Amino acid sequence: MTDPYAVPDMDELLAQVRKQTEEVQRIQRTVEAMEIKAHSRQNEVTVTLRGDGRFTSIDIDPRAIREYDARNLSEIVLEAVNAGLQKLAEASSAKFAPVIAAAKDV
Q: Give per-residue pLDDT as tens, 86-104.
A: 999 999 888 888 877 777 7
Tell me the CA end-to-end span of the chain in Å, nearest whole number. Answer: 17
Looking at residue 96, its pLDDT comes to: 81
State the Cα–Cα distance between residues 76 and 46, nearest whole angstrom: 10
For the segment 35-42, the average pLDDT, to the nearest whole number, is 96
The pTM (predicted TM-score) of the whole model is 0.75
Looking at residue 93, its pLDDT comes to: 87
Q: What is the assigned CATH class of domain 33-103?
A: alpha beta
Which residue has better confidence, 37 or 18?
Answer: 37
